[in-house]
Structure 1
Amino acid sequence: MNDYGVTGSTTDVEVLIKLPIRELWSGITAIDRYGEWSPECYYGAWLDDRIEKGARFEARNRFKDGFETYVTCTVTVAEAPYRFGWDVYGGEDVPLAHWEYELEDQGVETLVRQTFTHGPGDSGLRMGAVQNPERAAEIIQGRLDQLAANMRSTLTAMESALRTPR
């Protein structure tokens, strides 16, 4: 089936965070706190008591139209404190997305590169492109732009929260 370019569509952001790399790593791997920072993810919880390749966590997302998703994620890379990534599964055997952070130590600051890549699994984006093939490119780009804005927003909120003691 033609997916109109959804599979493999990607976006990324690069943000300089005013935190040392190990402090930022603690935030990026604090899945249970993403609900405090993300415009879409309102819940996250580790299903395994370890941060390593193969570990799993669950997440819940709420979109502007009120639609909610419940997903399970599997860590694909956990190289403290430099790389952390995971695949997102929505009930299928193939991932619907891959998220990854790369951190570059710059002393008291950390350069973060966050990437999203759409997988072959089912998603709202795929459904929208298939249902509206004449607008598929516009729909895909709109979602990628929204995801990039959400990444920046999440990283900014994360930085602020980690700089302020709880």
Structure 2
Amino acid sequence: MNDYGVTGATTGVEVLIKLPIHEAWSGITAIERYGEWSPECIHGAWLEEGARFEARNRFPDGLETYVTCTVTVLEERKRFGWDVYGDETVPLAHWEYELEDRGTETLVRQSFTHGPGLSGMRIGVAQHPDRAADVIQGRLDQLAANMRTTLAAMQSALDTPS
């Protein structure tokens, strides 16, 4: 079966947020607060502290999905990442944050890489193979916009006057 470039499709953003690194770290590891900040993730909850969590997503067409995630990268105040699983044993995506201390600010690099598992992007490409590149790029652009929105909302929520 033709993959059309779905597996390994990647996007990311680099955002300088006005939070010191310890506050930025607290935000990106606060899985239970993602529903407050993300335009797509409406719920997150730890299943095993620091190891696994669940998430629910709602898409613009109203579709809701439930996934479980396994933390695969954990370097305190530096890197945090996880693999996303649907009903399969192979990940459908990998998300990762990388933080760089800039004193009162933190440079955040967030990335998404599509895995081999079944996802909406993969289904969309299978339904429209003649437009595979456009379907993939459209979803990657949407994810990058969502990353920026989430980071801005997180910064706003955590930026408390001293």
Question: Above 0.5 in TM-score?
Answer: yes
Q: CA deviation at 1:154?
A: 0.1
Identity of aligned residues (%): 79
Q: 2:74 aligns to what?
A: 78
Q: 2:126 aligns to what?
A: 130
Counterpart of 1:26, as a letter, is S
Aligned ranges 1:118-157 → 2 under 5 Å: 118-157=114-153
Q: Which runs of 4+ in 1 moved over 3 A?
A: none
Q: CA deviation at 1:91?
A: 1.2
Q: CA deviation at 1:3?
A: 1.6
Q: 2:156 aligns to what?
A: 160
Counterpart of 2:112, as a letter, is F
Counterpart of 2:87, as a letter, is G
Aligned ranges 1:41-120 → 2 under 5 Å: 41-49=41-49, 51=50, 55-120=51-116
* CA distance, structure 2, for counterparts of residue 118 and residue 23 of structure 1: 28
> Any unmatched runs of 5+ in structure 1?
none
Structure 1, residues 22-76: CA drift from partner, whole Å, max 9, x if none? 1100000000000000000000000012x2xxx1000000000001110000000
Q: CA RMSD in A?
A: 0.8
* CA distance, structure 2, for counterparts of residue 91 and residue 155 of structure 1: 28
Counterpart of 2:63, as a letter, is F
Equivalent residue pairs, number: 161
* CA distance, structure 1, for counterparts of residue 108 and residue 87 of structure 2: 30
Secondary structure of 1:98's counterpart equals strand
Secondary structure of 2:57's counterpart equals strand
1:20 matches 2:20: yes
Secondary structure of 2:48's counterpart equals coil
> Any unmatched runs of 5+ in structure 2?
none
